[in-house]
Structure 1
Amino acid sequence: MSLSPRFLAFLLAFLISAITTSFLAFVNDVTSSMLFVVGVSSFVVSFFLVLYTIEIIVYREVNKMYRSIHKLKLKDFSISRKSLIRENNPLKRLNDEIFVYVAKKQKEIEELRKLEQFRREFLADVSHELKTPIFAAQGFIHTLLDGAIDDENVRDRFLKKAAKSLDGLDALVKDLVTLSQMETGAIKMNIEVVDLRLVTDDVLERLEKIAQDRKVTLKVKPDKLPEVRVRADPQRIEQVMVNLIENAIKYNHEGGKVIIHFDEEKKHFGVSVRDNGPGIPPEHLTRIFERFYRVDKSRSKERGGTGLGLAIVKHILNGHGSKIAVMSKLDKGTTFTFKLEKAE
């Protein structure tokens, strides 16, 4: 409980007056009138002395602290000199404000450290991802320039490999640009009514060859839901479905299954992409939406991709006011889920 200076001075003055009067009562020949006068006078004198002392000590120190705060960024504080003077317990108020300020600055420092660590990791990842296709294409081209160009079979084979490496580099740069634009808000979602069932059918048709090569079965459920009309950006939501379904095919067991399920709710459609592949270890689940993060780097490289797909998916869905969730069990499979607003 906070005590005001006046109440505290009153309490101390009363105690001083009571003690003085009590001791004086034991003196011989002291009348009640004398006790009354001494009690009142000691109370009044003590009250004003204590009050003056408290206010001088407290507010002098408060002013010192305020001047120190003023040297800092005063906008970080929600207090003023006048409000402090009016406070019953200005030191407590000031202490609370300083505590909040320090906690806020500590949080900012931690965020800056995380950003710095993220920046270093990102630069290292980008350098590595760019270096791989550049060095590959460079090696093939230099080999041709060193004389292999005269061999028609070697020339065609090396040119195809160089072109493939450069195509991968082009895809990586495009994904980086897209992700950067999404993070800065440069890309706006063009929301309109989209039949997500039709979009999914088109995506499955495009990915059919990849699924056949891995003998993966693709299925859309439920059959009784011919239309899934949602409010979304057609191009971006197609990008989401391509990324999720292609990952489910590539990282599934050979001969596995991928099921795309739509769940109709009152105001939304729930969408899930489920596979019965090897699953994702629990320690990786919180990081799979980071840029360039790969659960198994060697296998991921073999199966292509830029390592930015899930990061782009996350930002696209955020732009739709939605969030993506993932559930996975080892040797049981992985399920990605999100919701989109139902179209009227």
Structure 2
Amino acid sequence: KGCSCSTVLECSPGGHQILQSPYRSVDFDSSQLQQSAIQDLICDHSLAPGWYRFMIFDKPAEMPTKCVEMNHCGTQAPVWLSLRESESMPRPGEMKQLTACATWQFFFSTSKDCCLFRIPIRVRNCGDFFVYFLQPTQGCMGYCAEVVSDARPQTCDAEGMEIEGVCTVSPPLPSIPEVVAEMIKGSIYLRCTFGIPSANSSVGFIVTWSRLSPEGVKEELTRETAVHTFSLLELDGINVRLGDRVYCSSSSFFMEKPDIQSSSVESKEFFAGIKIHPETYDISEDGKEYRLTIESTIPIPCPGFSQLKRDCKISLTLYSFVFFWSFHSC
């Protein structure tokens, strides 16, 4: 998602002026100027309306978006960019109408007002920097600036990720994987199935199988790269056994850029074995009938030579514990 920012007049070298006084830095204490060089105090009441870009010691700078304390930025009343909860900085090529605020504290007051004065400001994202359409201030106020740590404004939206300073569209996030058991040629396999919101043949997947150890720690069993939206794991009795609690996770990547991967999405826990519902039962000698439901989450393979259904079965032993209580009266 690029932008032809160079065609925008205010983004071109001749389309804006540069404010590069180091005094405009949010870290500069203006009280030094008020005591020794009051003539150097920044007062933007005489600033000509127009597009401006900030620089501090030849480093790209931007207007801060948090309240700045008084007597900073080379002035008494610092002017900063106020963003409401519903507002954000413009994306590359975009321009937004925003509001700047001036911080001030009256001599008789014990608290400051971060937005005593409001100034309308237009902000354009030129891709590599922001430009601001500034108005002259009311009285001796000064527009603040702070050095950009990465020398670039944020250029990515919700669908992209920044890789080495370049905004790149992230791969589609797979749907939540689902694990089921099935029999293939007499062997039992666990199948992890997932999908992507839209069909895209240029997307591959990284599938990771893991299980819960007796200590409750997830252990990675295997990891594979796949071009289809499923993965198989054999229940071989060695790596995966009856009674294991198994998980499957999937992430996607672009075939042409395999280093750019989406975040990983994990399945719900799959118990590979036999469940009894309910797990515990209190049975009384009351003549009533109690039912236990036995469910196998995996198919039960039958020998190939078995002709009768009754020849293919599993046997379960039910143990019952009888407790005798004796009561003694005092």
Same fold (TM over 0.5): no
TM-score bracket relative to the smaller structure: under 0.3
Is the strand fraction higher in 1 or 2? 2
**TM-score w.r.t. structure 2 length?**
0.23
Larger Rg: 1
**TM-score w.r.t. structure 1 length?**
0.23
Is the helix fraction higher in 1 or 2? 1
